A and B are shown apart, each in its own frame.
Chain A
Amino acid sequence: MGRKRKTTEIDYVDPDLPITPMLDMAFQLLAFFVMTFNPTPPEGHLDMALPMVEGGADSAPPPSSLEEPDELTVVVDANANGEIAKIRMRDKTDIGDGQDLGSNSQALFTVLKERKGPPCKVKLEMADQLSYKLVIKLIDEITRAGYKQVAPSLHMPKK
């Protein structure tokens, strides 16, 4: 006796996911992000050591780096346009104005790079009218030469 196989029909459902509204929404989000996108240049920082205030800020803890004596002093004079007029460098053994490095900050890098001995703290005395752009350039050159501790201060010319 032949057995008749009952065939079951599977009802395949074609899922119809509405893509168009999703795409619309995605485009709106994209438009929002494109319009609010504001690429900022990558910022970094240059560390420096601030000296203690004479007679003030008792509550401020003295940073350890400032307990050491200044070994190297770089004096930067500026002209009326805020450009570097003259760079002089002296260490604690020098008497007088120290070594004249001209007006090129690259010379400062070269001299510091060739200097013997371990890097020490550099006191950077700058004229008040010196452009801030050049201040950063000088700190950059000193740091590039391997001297990580830079203490900027105002240069008071002798009268």
Chain B
Amino acid sequence: MSMGNLEKCEPNLIPMLDLVLQLIMFFMLVTNFIADDLNESVKLPHALQARPIDKNEDYVITLNMDRKGRVLLMKGNEKEIDEALEKNPNDPRVLTNKLQVRGYMANKWKADRERRDAKVRAGQPEPKPALVVLRAHQDSTYKLVNEVLEGCRMAGFLDVQLRAVVGRGPQK
């Protein structure tokens, strides 16, 4: 009885490996690991004229404001924020009014002042004050946004940017 020709049959894995490595490269490039400042529960409004973010800014302070006007210094959705405030109404991770925002930003102003002074002492030109980036929820009102802006302004920050998603947004 003949056994036939027993040849070793191996799939060619090298093109597959090439493809997988290319996919890994793609995901590595597009994955953003440094997103600590961004709170994903904050839905930004859309603006066509929103300009790309300048990555050369020395010092950026990002404030995330939810639809109720609370400045979030913690991650989490609205429910988690509510629960945190229920447990501790004075939770330092959530700024609920203008005075708290002002206090927080005043500390930031002090730190920024020290940073700029240190640069001057080191013989470098004085850098401009920190940039405040406000990421406010699209369903909030101008009154709530204005309170946060007032808090920043009273602390001394006048250079403020409003963050928006670039584009037209969903049409009604």
Contact = CB atoms under 8 A, between A and B. Distances in A.
Contact of A129 (B46, B47, B143, B167): B143
Given A128-B143, A132-B136, A135-B142, A57 B155 contact: yes
Contacts of B158: 49-50, 52, 60-63, 66
Contacts of B38: 40
Interface string B127-152: 00100010011111111111001101
B143 A44 contact: no
Interface stretch (A5-13, A24-32, A87-95, A112-120): A24-32
Contacts, number: 173
B30 A39 contact: yes
Interface in A9-56: 19-20, 22-23, 26-27, 29-30, 33-34, 36-53, 56
Contact of A133 (B28, B35, B138, B155): B138
Contact of B45 (A33, A63, A127, A132): A132
A26 B50 contact: no
A154 B35 CA distance: 32
Given A33-B27, A43-B165, A50-B160, A19 B142 contact: no
Nearest to A58: B156
A13 B123 CA distance: 64
B164 A45 contact: yes
Interface string B104-133: 000001000100000000000000010001
Interface residues of A, number: 55
Interface in B1-36: 13-14, 16-17, 20-21, 23-24, 27-28, 30-32, 35
A51 B146 CA distance: 12
Contact of A23 (B17, B138, B150, B164): B17
B143 to A, nearest CB: 3
B142 A47 contact: no
B141 A128 contact: yes
A136 interface: yes
A29 B28 CA distance: 10
A144 B48 contact: yes
B27 A139 contact: no
B159 interface: yes
16 contacts: A26-B21, A26-B24, A38-B31, A44-B53, A44-B164, A44-B165, A45-B161, A45-B164, A48-B160, A50-B159, A57-B153, A59-B156, A131-B141, A133-B138, A137-B47, A140-B47
Query: Which 9 pairs from chain A and chain B are nearest by CB?
Result: A44-B50, A33-B27, A128-B143, A45-B161, A60-B156, A136-B45, A143-B49, A140-B47, A26-B20
